[in-house]
Chain A
Amino acid sequence: MLLLASLVASCARKDSQGAFRVLPRSSPLGGAMTFDLVSDPKTFNPALASETTSTQVLGYLFRGLTRVSPYDGIVKGDLASRWSVDRSGRRVVFTLRRGLRWSDGVPLTAADVVFTFNRIYYNPAVASPVRDVLTVGGKPFRVTAPDPRTVVFETARPFAPLLEELGVEILPAHLLSAAVSQGRFNTVWSVRTPPEKIVGDGPFRLERYLPGQEIVLSKNPLYTPPKGLSGPYAAPLPYLDRLTLRIVPNQNSTLLRFLGGKSDLVSVSPAQVPVLSDKTGEKAFRLLVRGPSQAETFLTFNENPRAPVPKWKIAWFQNRNFRQAVAWAIDRKAMVDVVYNGLGAPIPGPVSPANKAFFDPGVVRYHHDLARSRALLAASGFRKKGSRLYDASGHPVVVVLMTNTESPERLSLAQMVQSMLAPLGIRVRVVPLQFNMLTTLVLSSHQWEMLLFGLTGTLDPHGNATVWRSTGFLHLWNPGEKGPSTPWEGEVDSLFARGETEMDPVRRRALYDRWQEIATREVPLVDLVSPDAITAVRTTLSGITPTPLGGVVPHISLVAQTGRLLLP
């Protein structure tokens, strides 16, 4: 008993000693920030980067002509200080900021912009993932530089999302033109390139990269911040001297390292909030809840008549009543409560409500209503015998629902879908697969029936064209179509074609409103729920606030370290 008492006492003492303390620093300038990555970057070449770790790291090293404000989605200048669009909407003239320099001291001029577009992004020999979004109607932009601070973009047709798409990184001509002419651009600036060889124009530059261990970025003294960006302290941006990105094996270890005081910022899943919420004082951090994230999680159906799936199943999936019946059968509130600890919201449609510029409040909002589901199924000749549903020709309604194993939340959602469709008599078998295998089955062999999947959202609805156009690369429910197979797909195709070239914001918005109404009425994608994006941030950092459209860091150069963390 005595032993137990002393054990409890020692634990309690350890707890009070375990509290972190924050001491103020004499100056808020020149600090450091540490956070974790769960994988290594694959390349340091911004024109070739396609996965999120590389793009995140390169986002600190490079920048483009424009940037999108994370507060309201408005396009602002980055390298460009101003621009003008002529009346035809086909010609945009950019003026670069004064005194721009690469991190090796060479001036950054309009010639670099012209080189980046004409020799890299539009070079068929370069495996760049962004080439598709930098064309309109299949034609590249014509990029010219009348003088060192002026760049002219001319498009074949008016292209509404042009300004947003011109946030792509600009690369230095003086270092890379030789590699491009010799045809070895696809191998330059790999992860094995010495750090000092990688020259950028962003707020930081690469100082050290140890594969599997860490990436250290240091302040770029030659950085010229975008026009209008200013922080609370009168000092050159960025405030921080150093960013350290540690590479760790998985999400669990990022959380443990954060609780051990070894990192300053960690993104948190809703299920981890109960572990963290009562430790904010002791471990000196804040929990920032940003509201539902932009990512879209949905159920979709294989409507592809060429797929190796029984014909009668394809017929169910092509039936709008069947899809709507599924949409009405989902209890999204229960999904949020069970899978996301109540920290999330139903997704009303393909555009997030946070995206106020484009969200259409008039979309069909599905909620849990089994009576409607039953009526829709009965109207299409489905009959329930006993506990099972049969279609008009007597086939039992049994579906395989696939999802990827990497995300435990998706697996839980799939299991909930399984039990939510059971009262209708629909038997669902959940099959979790590895991501790569799943994409092969869905996009190449089309051997799937129902799919629970997610896609990251884009601010401009034009980014959804790859999914919603009948010829789009990610037109999941019926990929590889030559043209629209249903009238509504035809209308969506024409809406996207007009939205691309419509320059008047009001008319453009009306086009995408119509698309959202069709999307939620026809429900080829049954939208489910979205978790709140939550980040835990150490109280030693300032300049970190949640933004509705971006992350918690409005601009990396405004982050400052105001306090010093004292570990017990």
Chain B
Amino acid sequence: MRGLRSLLGRVGVAGALLLLLGTASLFAEFLAPYRYDSVRFDLPYAPAVWPRLEHGRLVVPVLRMVDPVHRRYAETGSVLPLRLFCRGESVRMWGLFRSSRHLFCTPAPARVLLLGADLFGRDLFSRLLYGMRVSFLLSFLGVMISFTIGTLVGLVAGYAGGWTDRILMRTAEVVMAVPALYLLMGLRSIVPYGLSGLSVALVITGSLSLVGWASLARVVRGLVRSLVSRDFVLAAVATGASPARIILRHLLPNMRYYLLVAVTLSIPAFIVGEAGLSFLGLGLSEPRPSLGNILAEGQSLETMESAPWLLAAGGTIVLLVVLFNRLGDVLREAEEQIGSGKIQGRTDKNGKDAKSRENGT
């Protein structure tokens, strides 16, 4: 209990919710009652079907399409039991081993649709879970790549100064000047068509991060410029520490909170970027779900009237973006507290460092 409270204190409600959503999407194979590509052509745009309590047990009503033109459905009257921890559709957990256990499921003619169905009768709730996982994975991967590049370039440019600095920063500015959307569309078009959906997604993440590193590199470089003239860095230089040691031991630790905040704030950019590309049909290809391509289906006048629940994908994007931004705020506040409250500890450490170096000389 204390552990949970301290975690909440550190990452806030937003962080805890994100952790929950992340875990849920990680276990999508178990939590989702159906596979993302499990179709039911007799249930296009079927509305939500919730389990209900009848004679003391949970049952799911069976739907039947009564009007294909307006996609109106009626209950046939028969119900089937909802079972927990049941054996349902066979899925490959994390692509590694087969499993058919699901948190809940119901036998065939009935279908639990917590959020309704899409055009092919696929369960939107299941697809959102899988789609969210794609968003999480791609954004983490993208942030990792862009941060590695951005931080390295920023550190080198800031520390080295002179021509190295100028060349690296002008390169970063050129990269920032390239309109990202067109670059991505261009990159997407040179990817061969036979590739599987996941490799396309990886290519997209790669290209998104190749655009994303530049702004970070500029900020990191600015931070480094301001830090290199500080006493503790000058002292380290005076003691003959190697540039690598100065960067890793003195500069990076002093920027870690800034970087952490920047990471949480740039994840939403990747989520929105992936969604935007998939929305334009350049990202993950069907039947693989992503928040963007689920939302793309809901964009026309007709689906907004007949299946407004498809917009839930848009809601999920908004929710994730808000939560990540809030997490960034929480982390920044925590840093400010540390900055004002524990400043003593940090100077102590630096002082000790300096003393030990004096001893060494």
A→B interface (CB under 8 Å): 252, 255-256, 270-275, 277, 331, 334, 336-339, 341-343, 400, 402, 405, 408, 411-412, 415-416, 418-419, 429-433
Q: Contact: B44 with A338, CB < 8 Å?
A: yes
Complex: A429 Cα to B192 Cα, angstroms:
13
Q: Contact: A277 with B70, CB < 8 Å?
A: yes
- Digitize B106-123: 1 where CB-to-A-CB distance is under 8 Å, 0 elsewhere: 000000000000011100
26 pairs from A and B in contact (CB 8 Å cutoff): A256-B301, A271-B300, A271-B302, A272-B301, A273-B69, A274-B70, A275-B301, A275-B305, A334-B41, A336-B68, A337-B42, A338-B41, A338-B120, A338-B121, A341-B71, A342-B69, A400-B194, A402-B193, A405-B281, A411-B286, A416-B39, A416-B120, A419-B39, A419-B287, A430-B286, A433-B193
Q: Contact: A252 with B300, CB < 8 Å?
A: yes
Q: Contact: B194 with A429, CB < 8 Å?
A: yes
Q: Contact: A252 with B301, CB < 8 Å?
A: yes
- Digitize B176-201: 1 where CB-to-A-CB distance is under 8 Å, 0 elsewhere: 00000000000000000110100000
Complex: A286 Cα to B65 Cα, angstroms:
26
Closest partner residue, chain A, to B306 (CB atom): A274
| Chain B residues whose CB sits within 8 angstroms of the CB of A336 once the complex forms | 68
Task: Contacts A275-B301, A338-B120, A405-B281 given; indicate if A343 touches B69 (C-beta within 8 A).
Answer: yes
A interface majority secondary structure? helix
Q: Contact: B287 with A418, CB < 8 Å?
A: yes
Closest partner residue, chain A, to B194 (CB atom): A400
| Chain B residues whose CB sits within 8 angstroms of the CB of A273 once the complex forms | 69
Complex: A431 Cα to B282 Cα, angstroms:
11
Complex: A542 Cα to B68 Cα, angstroms:
30
Is B254 an interface residue, CB under 8 A from the partner? Answer: no
Is B215 an interface residue, CB under 8 A from the partner? Answer: no
Min distance, Cβ B295 to any Cβ of chain A, angstroms:
15
Q: Contact: B120 with A419, CB < 8 Å?
A: yes
8 closest A-B pairs (Cβ-Cβ)? A342-B68, A334-B41, A274-B70, A338-B44, A271-B302, A431-B193, A337-B68, A419-B39
Complex: A341 Cα to B303 Cα, angstroms:
12
Task: Contacts A405-B281, A415-B120 given; indicate if A337 touches B65 (C-beta within 8 A).
Answer: yes
Is B285 an interface residue, CB under 8 A from the partner? Answer: yes
Min distance, Cβ A252 to any Cβ of chain B, angstroms:
6
Is B37 an interface residue, CB under 8 A from the partner? Answer: yes
Most buried by A among B70, B193, B286, B305: B193
Task: Contacts A255-B301, A274-B71 given; indicate if A412 touches B194 (C-beta within 8 A).
Answer: no
Min distance, Cβ A557 to any Cβ of chain B, angstroms:
34
Min distance, Cβ B109 to any Cβ of chain A, angstroms:
16
| Chain A residues whose CB sits within 8 angstroms of the CB of B44 once the complex forms | 337-338
Q: Contact: A430 with B285, CB < 8 Å?
A: yes
| Chain A residues whose CB sits within 8 angstroms of the CB of B301 once the complex forms | 252, 255-256, 272, 275
Q: Contact: B193 with A277, CB < 8 Å?
A: no
- Digitize B271-311: 1 where CB-to-A-CB distance is under 8 Å, 0 elsewhere: 00000000001000111000000000000111001100000
When the two chains form the complex, which single residue of A275, A343, A419, A431 contacts B37, counting CB atoms closer than 8 Å?
A419
| Chain B residues whose CB sits within 8 angstroms of the CB of A419 once the complex forms | 37, 39, 120, 287
Min distance, Cβ A150 to any Cβ of chain B, angstroms:
54
What is the total number of residues of chain B having a CB less than 8 Å from a CB of chain A?
25
Complex: A31 Cα to B194 Cα, angstroms:
55
Most buried by B among A336, A338, A400: A338
| Chain A residues whose CB sits within 8 angstroms of the CB of B120 once the complex forms | 338, 412, 415-416, 419
When the two chains form the complex, which single residue of A255, A331, A342, A405 contacts B41, counting CB atoms closer than 8 Å?
A331
Complex: A147 Cα to B1 Cα, angstroms:
106
Complex: A336 Cα to B41 Cα, angstroms:
10
Within 8 A of A (CB), among B29-69: 37, 39, 41-42, 44, 65, 68-69
Min distance, Cβ B303 to any Cβ of chain A, angstroms:
8
Total A-B Cβ pairs within 8 A: 73
Q: Contact: B69 with A432, CB < 8 Å?
A: no
Closest partner residue, chain B, to A412 (CB atom): B119
| Chain B residues whose CB sits within 8 angstroms of the CB of A342 once the complex forms | 68-69
| Chain B residues whose CB sits within 8 angstroms of the CB of A272 once the complex forms | 301-302
| Chain B residues whose CB sits within 8 angstroms of the CB of A408 once the complex forms | 300
Q: Contact: B41 with A341, CB < 8 Å?
A: no
Closest partner residue, chain B, to A402 (CB atom): B193
When the two chains form the complex, which single residue of B65, B196, B305 contacts A274, counting CB atoms closer than 8 Å?
B305
| Chain A residues whose CB sits within 8 angstroms of the CB of B70 once the complex forms | 274, 277, 341
Complex: A405 Cα to B193 Cα, angstroms:
13
Closest partner residue, chain A, to B303 (CB atom): A271
Q: Contact: A334 with B42, CB < 8 Å?
A: yes
Closest partner residue, chain A, to B192 (CB atom): A431
| Chain A residues whose CB sits within 8 angstroms of the CB of B121 once the complex forms | 338
Q: Contact: A416 with B194, CB < 8 Å?
A: no
| Chain A residues whose CB sits within 8 angstroms of the CB of B119 once the complex forms | 338-339, 412
Complex: A336 Cα to B193 Cα, angstroms:
28
Complex: A342 Cα to B68 Cα, angstroms:
5
Complex: A191 Cα to B37 Cα, angstroms:
49
Min distance, Cβ A8 to any Cβ of chain B, angstroms:
19
When the two chains form the complex, which single residue of B42, B68, B302 contacts A275, counting CB atoms closer than 8 Å?
B302
| Chain A residues whose CB sits within 8 angstroms of the CB of B68 once the complex forms | 336-337, 341-343
| Chain B residues whose CB sits within 8 angstroms of the CB of A270 once the complex forms | 69
| Chain A residues whose CB sits within 8 angstroms of the CB of B41 once the complex forms | 331, 334, 337-338, 416
Q: Contact: A277 with B286, CB < 8 Å?
A: no
Complex: A343 Cα to B121 Cα, angstroms:
18
| Chain B residues whose CB sits within 8 angstroms of the CB of A400 once the complex forms | 193-194
Closest partner residue, chain B, to A331 (CB atom): B41
Most buried by A among B41, B300, B306: B41
Min distance, Cβ B280 to any Cβ of chain A, angstroms:
10
| Chain B residues whose CB sits within 8 angstroms of the CB of A337 once the complex forms | 41-42, 44, 65, 68
Closest partner residue, chain B, to A271 (CB atom): B302
Complex: A418 Cα to B41 Cα, angstroms:
13
Complex: A156 Cα to B242 Cα, angstroms:
94
Min distance, Cβ B166 to any Cβ of chain A, angstroms:
42
| Chain B residues whose CB sits within 8 angstroms of the CB of A432 once the complex forms | 281, 285
Complex: A272 Cα to B304 Cα, angstroms:
11
18 new A-B pairs (CB below 8 Å) besides A342-B68, A432-B285?
A272-B302, A273-B69, A274-B71, A274-B305, A274-B306, A275-B301, A331-B41, A336-B68, A337-B41, A337-B42, A337-B44, A337-B65, A339-B119, A343-B68, A400-B193, A405-B281, A430-B285, A431-B193
Min distance, Cβ B45 to any Cβ of chain A, angstroms:
9
Complex: A431 Cα to B286 Cα, angstroms:
9
Complex: A477 Cα to B193 Cα, angstroms:
20
Closest partner residue, chain B, to A335 (CB atom): B41
Complex: A277 Cα to B193 Cα, angstroms:
40
| Chain B residues whose CB sits within 8 angstroms of the CB of A256 once the complex forms | 301
Q: Contact: B194 with A274, CB < 8 Å?
A: no
Complex: A429 Cα to B193 Cα, angstroms:
10
Min distance, Cβ B52 to any Cβ of chain A, angstroms:
27
Q: Contact: B306 with A415, CB < 8 Å?
A: no
Min distance, Cβ A529 to any Cβ of chain B, angstroms:
13
| Chain B residues whose CB sits within 8 angstroms of the CB of A411 once the complex forms | 286
Complex: A431 Cα to B281 Cα, angstroms:
11
Closest partner residue, chain B, to A431 (CB atom): B193
| Chain A residues whose CB sits within 8 angstroms of the CB of B286 once the complex forms | 411, 415, 430
Complex: A430 Cα to B37 Cα, angstroms:
13
Complex: A425 Cα to B295 Cα, angstroms:
30
When the two chains form the complex, which single residue of B69, B196, B285, B300 contacts A277, counting CB atoms closer than 8 Å?
B69
| Chain B residues whose CB sits within 8 angstroms of the CB of A271 once the complex forms | 300, 302
Task: Contacts A252-B301, A418-B287, A419-B37 given; indicate if A274 touches B193 (C-beta within 8 A).
Answer: no
